[in-house]
Amino acid sequence: MDYSVIMSKRKTLALSVSPSGEVVVRAPYGTSEETVLYFLARHERWLERRLAERRILPRFADGDEVSIAGKRYLVASGARARISGEILFLPAEGREEALIALLKRYTRARMKELLDALCAKYSFSYTGLRVTGARGRWGSCGTNGHISFTFRTAFLPDELAYYLAAHELCHTRNMNHGENFWRDVSAVCPDWKKRRRALKGYLWAMDCL
């Protein structure tokens, strides 16, 4: 297995796989090659899963199929980024930037609709909605009731987007993951455990675009 090692003043070893599939080990200064190899061996299964995820990342080239909100679309060239029928049109120049802008608009409309429906049904309230390019988390809620989602939620099917909306709205009442928080989540989304587990199957989206 090819890998690179980055030494720094850190105290522990860490492992990551770049979007291009490069395995990177971050280690404290003076770490031996033997220690690095042992560390890689211990995380072999994790690496296999992450590398497999990289192989399924969509390229967004003409002829590719891309899943957005659980629906499959065929990628084709067009003057601007848009979805029409079963086709995702993307410009030949600046394709990635145009797609990100499209997914941000889509995510804002989709998540706002979900949030507003949950607020009307369960008497939640929030102060604002922001769509970001975050890779580390699907969503977040500030103490001021402002909710954020990464545009990568666009790749999730509706039932998982619903869970994320419910999760963040419950944070407007409980800014932690304590017993009261999960009780509120259960009232809105009884099978939240199943949906949260299903999110692990979409971690590849965090490395997409």
- Supply the mean pLDDT for the chain: 91
* pLDDT > 80? residue 104: yes
Angle value at C-alpha 49, between 46 and 52, nearest 5 degrees: 145
On whether both 108 and 174 belong to a single domain, the answer is: yes
On whether both 37 and 113 belong to a single domain, the answer is: no
The pLDDT confidence band at residue 14, using thresholds 50, 70 and 90, is very high
pLDDT of 127 reads: 97
Q: What is the pLDDT of residues 155-177, one digit of tens each?
A: 999 999 999 999 999 999 999 99
The whole-number average pLDDT for the span 74-87 is 94
Q: What is the pLDDT of residues 49-69, one digit of tens each?
A: 777 666 556 778 899 888 899
The SS3 assignment for 111 reads: helix
On whether both 133 and 196 belong to a single domain, the answer is: yes
Partners of residue 171 on adjacent β-strands: none
CATH number reported for the structural domain that contains residue 134 in this entry: 3.30.2010.10
The whole-number average pLDDT for the span 5-14 is 93
DSSP state of 145: S
pLDDT of 31 reads: 94
pLDDT of 114 reads: 98
Instruction: Name the residue range of residue 33's domain.
Output: 3-55
pLDDT of 51 reads: 73
Q: Are 37 and 15 in contact (CB under 8 A)?
A: no
Report if residue 90 sits inside a domain.
no
Report if residue 136 sits inside a domain.
yes
On whether both 110 and 161 belong to a single domain, the answer is: yes
Report if residue 46 sits inside a domain.
yes
Report if residue 73 sits inside a domain.
no
On whether both 116 and 49 belong to a single domain, the answer is: no
The whole-number average pLDDT for the span 116-130 is 97
pLDDT of 197 reads: 92
Report if residue 132 sits inside a domain.
yes
Report if residue 74 sits inside a domain.
no
**Number of domain units in the chain:** 2
Report if residue 119 sits inside a domain.
yes
DSSP state of 139: E
Sheet holding 82-84, edge to edge: 65-68, 71-77, 87-90, 82-84
139-141/71-77 β-pairing: unpaired
